[in-house]
Structure 1
Amino acid sequence: MSDYLFEAPEVKTIPVKGEDKPLPIRRIFCVGRNYAAHAAEMGGEVDREAPWYFTKSALHAVPSGSAQPYPPGTSNYHHEMELAFAIGKPVFRATKAEAAAAIYAYGCALDMTRRDRQQDGKDHRRPWDLGKDVEGAAVFSPMTKAGEFGVEDQRIHLEVNGESRQDATLKEMVWSCEEVVEHLSRYYHLQPGDVIMTGTPAGVGAVEAGDKITGGIDGLDPIALNIGAPE
């Protein structure tokens, strides 16, 4: 018999290259407006004083190659290609060196977004949850350990049905991964399994049922998502 009143939720995980066991996802933090060109295309500006964040539920994570239905409540569902990284050791109020040492692995990610619901939040000064925290909208490829990948000026790109939509380099990020950990750890006791999505470059756009999304970052496993019919 279960120890709980209802069945406990599944622990969502991400494979790590070279490891027999996957990484359990604890929390998902997302950096907002971390590429100036994307901020501009959304009608905003980068906050250069400090990074800022929103979150996604770990229960909404799905693996690369999944088929996910077009979500309810939107007519403007957008792709956002991102670099993600996972924390591998507890860190709180980290120095930059401690922040760098806490990064365990890197991988490709998709932050799928109900753009119309996000815009509702902006227009009415309300949270973005309906726009960002969408079932099946945090997509992760297998990760590569930090000792085997260093963030420099690698190409980051995304295609829809083979047509290029996003094409930039990681050098365009305003806040580095280490700076994000250093800042975020002022507000949270970061723990192993916390995953941080670092924002998307310019070129975001809508997808429809039947579309196939592919993307990649040089040196990391690629990512893919198939958009199915709405339920």
Structure 2
Amino acid sequence: GCISQLYLFFALASTECFLLVTMAYDRYLAICRPLHYPTLMTLQISTRMVTAAWVAGFLAPLVPIVLISQLSFCGPKEIHHFFCDVGPLLRRSCGSAFLSSTLVTVLASMVILSTCAFTMVSYTFIIFSILRIPSASGRQKAVSTCGSHLTVVAIFYATTIFTYARPISTTASELDKVVSVFYAVVTPLLNPMIYSLRNKEVREALKKLVSRKQVFVKNIGTVIMVCW
């Protein structure tokens, strides 16, 4: 069960990296090449890119997870973490886990740093394009298009680079658990708010829902007062 959770966690985290860089490329095309966007980012192309991100994400951690599953574990069946992460799990290994830990660090660094680098390159071109926009309203619209994605990128990559793009520590750290909360809990919670609330239709639907609840509460209050 722990190995399965570890694999799913790394597979979904890798998929998140590939999806973020895919979205960065999409925003690069939308801002830097707006006239060519309909031909460069068709439904077929975007579907292939998303499919490739999911496939690559689930294939990337396969070899390290298989190696970890072959290790022998001893001691208590509890790890010093709130989910089955690679560092706390390898600390329970009876034998040498050098190969597994090294492979995890190298692979995680390659996935995280390469996708982060491509994302930063895309945003470098985007920033230069935004600075060339003559009108302030045009610049504001372009910034709002990228702001939500860039917020998620900053939180996600800052925490994952700190955790996985460095040698796995042999001692437990409370800081590791705190940092892991951001990429495991905070970022997924922020995603719907950051992306959905920018949509005008979603905001209008949310306003209608809130207003209906307010009317319902007022009606209930009136009925209670009349009955009393």
TM range (shorter): under 0.3
Q: Which has the larger radius of gyration?
A: 2
Q: TM-score, normalised by structure 1?
A: 0.19
Higher share of residues assigned strand: 1
In terms of fraction of residues, the more helix-rich structure is 2
Q: Which has the higher contact order (CA 8 A, sep 6+)?
A: 1
